[in-house]
Amino acid sequence: MSFGFKTSWLAVRDAGPEEVADALDLRHRQRIDWATGTELAYRQGVFVARPVPEWTLAHGRIHLPHGTDPARPDFPTWLRTLAAHVGDLQFFATDRVGEYHAWARVESGELTRAYCYIGMSGEVPLRQGEPTAVERELGVGLVGREEVRQDWGDAEWDAWHAAMPTEQEVMRIAADWSVCPPLIEDDSVTAPGIYGFPPGVEPVLEF
């Protein structure tokens, strides 16, 4: 199985690995095979590769957003700035422990859709744009804290929590928008990718 769970990644259609690595300003670069690169990116750094003909993926559990995340106000700016270099892109993140799930996409330079849910705190810190067809089909990403009322009873709260995403639904959205990384077989990817580190991050593991 490839990456996808307990991590974050970008999906870019029109730019190759070198362009995406340049846009992320990755340093200490090495060419590494798909299986090794995805494993290393769970521990540190970022791995950029094109495992399927249409999509370049950039994966990093810790260092991909390097300094920002969907819960921060500067996250939309980071995405739009990145898209200015590589074109339309998508961002996904999952973490089952904290129930932290997010997805976003930039089209023609605009952040057309973004949603982030943090189950540990019950917050929806980012909700922008209209839900896409797959979100409506799954019944997630449709509500935020704005709909919560003080007079809610158990039934209303149960319905609200049922409308919050899980990691499996993030994968379903990724599959509909672009590609679902866990469905990529390691043996099917023959071209190496680029493994590196964002500015200010130094390698601490040998590989």
Query: Rounded CA gap, 199 and 122, in Å?
Result: 33
Which domain covers residue 183, as residue numbers? 8-195
- In this model, does residue 68 exceed pLDDT 80? no
* Number of domains present in the structure of the chain: 1
Q: Is the pLDDT of residue 55 over 90?
A: yes
pLDDT on residue 66: 47
Residue 69 confidence (pLDDT): 66
Higher-confidence position of 65 and 158:
158
Q: Where are the beta strands (DSSP E) in 108-159?
A: 110-118, 123-128
Whether 14 maps to a domain, the answer reads: yes
**Residue 204 is assigned to a structural domain of this protein:** no
Record the pTM: 0.91
Judge whether 205 lies within some domain. no
Laid out side by side, the sheet with 100-107 consists of 27-32, 193-197, 46-52, 55-59, 8-12, 89-95, 100-107, 110-118, 123-128
Q: Of 16 and 186, which is predicted with more confidence?
A: 16
Residue 125 has pLDDT above 90, yes or no: no
Residue 1 lies in a domain: no
Nearest Cα neighbor of 46 from 193, 206, 207 is 193
Task: Name the more confident of 69 and 93.
Answer: 93
Q: Is residue 42 part of a domain?
A: yes
Nearest to 181 by CA among 86, 62, 56, 25: 56
Q: How many Cβ atoms from other residues are within 10 Å of residue 191's Cβ?
A: 11
Within a domain: 83: yes
Q: Do 46 and 3 meet the contact criterion of CB atoms below 8 Å apart?
A: no
Looking at the domain assignment, is residue 207 inside a domain? Answer: no
The answer to whether residue 1 scores a pLDDT higher than 60 is no
Q: Are 53 and 204 in contact (CB under 8 A)?
A: no
**Residue 76: helix, strand or coil by DSSP?**
helix
pLDDT score at 158: 77
Q: List, in order, residues 6 or more apart from 172 with CB less than 8 Å away.
A: 134, 138, 180
User: Quick one: CA torsion of 157, 159, 165, 167, rounded to 10 degrees?
Assistant: 90
Q: How many CA atoms lie within 13 A of 118 on its CB side?
A: 10
Residue 180 lies in a domain: yes
The whole-angstrom separation of Cα 170 and Cα 4 is: 9
Give the amino acid at 128: Q
- The pLDDT mean for the chain works out to 88
